[in-house]
Structure 1
Amino acid sequence: MGGFDYDIAIIGGGLAGLTTAIQLRKKGYTVVLFEKNSFPFHRVCGEYISFESWDYLIDCGVDLENMKLPQILKLKVSAVSGHLMTTNLDMGGFGISRYRIDGLLCARARELGVKIHDNCKVDAIQRISQEYIITSPVGDHRARMAIGSFGKRSNIDVQWKRGFTLQKPTKLNNYIGVKYHVRGADVSDDTIALHNFKNGYCGVSKIEDDKYCMCYLTTAYNLKAAGGIDEMQRTYLYQNRYLKALFEHSDFLFAQPLSISQISFDTKEPVYAGIPLIGDACGMITPLCGNGMSMAMHSGKILVQLAERYLKEQISLDSMLKIYTAEWYKHFALRLRTGRLMQSYAGKTWQTTLLVRLMKNFPLLANKIIKNTHGSKF
Structure 2
Amino acid sequence: MVSVDYDIGIVGAGLAGLTTAIQLRKKGYSVVLFEKNGFPFHRVCGEYISVESWDYLLDCGIDLADMQLPIIKKLQVSSLNGTLLTADLDLGGFGISRYKIDGLLALKAREIGVEVRDNCKISGMQRLSDHYRIEASDDEVRVQLAIGSFGKRSNIDVQWRRSFLARKLNNLNNHIGIKYHIKADFPDDIIALHNFKDGYCGISKIEEEQYCMCYLTTAANLQQSGGIKEMERQFLYQNKYLKQLFEQSEFCYSQPLSISQVSFDNKEPVFAGTPLIGDACGMITPLCGNGMSMAMHSGKLLTVLVDRYIQQQISLDEMLGLYTDQWRKQFAARLHVGRIVQARFGKVWQTDLFVSLLKKMPVLTNAIVKRTHGRGF
In which range does the TM-score fall when normalised by the shorter chain? over 0.9
The 3-state SS of whatever aligns with 1:92 is strand
Whether the aligned pair in 1 keeps the contact of 2:2 and 2:131 (CA below 8 Å) is no
The 3-state SS of whatever aligns with 1:368 is helix
Give the TM-score taking structure 2 as reference length: 0.99
Matches within 5 A, 1:44-59: 44-59=44-59
Structure 2 letter corresponding to 1:36: K
Aligned to 2:357: 358
Aligned to 1:190: 189
Q: C-alpha distance in 2, partners of 1:18/1:181?
A: 23
| 1:201 aligned onto 2:200 | yes
| CA shift for structure 1 position 216 | 0.2
Aligned to 1:267: 266
Whether the aligned pair in 2 keeps the contact of 1:130 and 1:317 (CA below 8 Å) is no
Aligned to 2:153: 153
| CA shift for structure 1 position 254 | 1.3
Aligned to 1:302: 301
Q: CA RMSD in A?
A: 0.9
Structure 1 letter corresponding to 2:324: T
The 3-state SS of whatever aligns with 1:88 is strand
Aligned to 2:223: 224
The C-alpha deviation readout for 1:71-94, integer Å capped at 9, x for no partner, is 000000001221111000010000
Aligned to 1:289: 288
Q: C-alpha distance in 2, partners of 1:307/1:254?
A: 42
Whether the aligned pair in 1 keeps the contact of 2:151 and 2:283 (CA below 8 Å) is no
| CA shift for structure 1 position 168 | 2.2
Q: C-alpha distance in 1, partners of 2:350/2:169?
A: 22
The C-alpha deviation readout for 1:336-363, integer Å capped at 9, x for no partner, is 0001001100101111111111111111
| 1:367 aligned onto 2:366 | yes
Structure 1 letter corresponding to 2:368: I
Q: C-alpha distance in 2, partners of 1:82/1:259?
A: 27
Aligned to 2:245: 246
The 3-state SS of whatever aligns with 2:186 is coil
The C-alpha deviation readout for 1:8-41, integer Å capped at 9, x for no partner, is 0000000000000000000000000000000000
Q: C-alpha distance in 1, partners of 2:234/2:364?
A: 32
Percent sequence identity is 66
Structure 1 letter corresponding to 2:124: A
Q: C-alpha distance in 1, partners of 2:336/2:42?
A: 29
Higher mean C-alpha displacement, 188-197 vs 148-157: 148-157
| 1:17 aligned onto 2:7 | no
Q: C-alpha distance in 2, partners of 1:330/1:284?
A: 17
Q: C-alpha distance in 1, partners of 2:307/2:337?
A: 32
| 1:137 aligned onto 2:131 | no
Matches within 5 A, 1:29-108: 29-108=29-108
Q: C-alpha distance in 1, partners of 2:216/2:173?
A: 12
The 3-state SS of whatever aligns with 1:178 is strand
Whether the aligned pair in 1 keeps the contact of 2:178 and 2:215 (CA below 8 Å) is yes
Give the TM-score taking structure 1 as reference length: 0.99
The C-alpha deviation readout for 1:227-261, integer Å capped at 9, x for no partner, is 00000000000010000000000000112100000
The 3-state SS of whatever aligns with 2:122 is coil
The 3-state SS of whatever aligns with 1:233 is helix
Aligned to 2:180: 180
Q: C-alpha distance in 2, partners of 1:112/1:350?
A: 53
The C-alpha deviation readout for 1:262-320, integer Å capped at 9, x for no partner, is 01111100000000000010023100000000000000000000000000000000000
Structure 2 letter corresponding to 1:32: V
Aligned to 1:234: 233
Higher mean C-alpha displacement, 159-168 vs 254-263: 159-168
Q: C-alpha distance in 2, partners of 1:55/1:283?
A: 24
Aligned to 1:167: 167
| CA shift for structure 1 position 187 | 2.4
Structure 2 letter corresponding to 1:90: D
Q: C-alpha distance in 1, partners of 2:82/2:120?
A: 45
| CA shift for structure 1 position 2 | 6.1
Q: C-alpha distance in 1, partners of 2:331/2:152?
A: 17
Whether the aligned pair in 1 keeps the contact of 2:80 and 2:239 (CA below 8 Å) is yes
The 3-state SS of whatever aligns with 1:4 is coil
Structure 1 letter corresponding to 2:113: G
The C-alpha deviation readout for 1:44-78, integer Å capped at 9, x for no partner, is 00000000000000000001010000000000000
Q: C-alpha distance in 2, partners of 1:187/1:216?
A: 17
Aligned to 1:123: 123
| CA shift for structure 1 position 152 | 2.2
Aligned to 1:276: 275
Whether the aligned pair in 2 keeps the contact of 1:187 and 1:193 (CA below 8 Å) is no
Q: C-alpha distance in 2, partners of 1:153/1:79?
A: 31
- Name structure 2 gaps, 5 residues minimum: none
Whether the aligned pair in 2 keeps the contact of 1:151 and 1:281 (CA below 8 Å) is yes
Q: C-alpha distance in 2, partners of 1:114/1:138?
A: 19
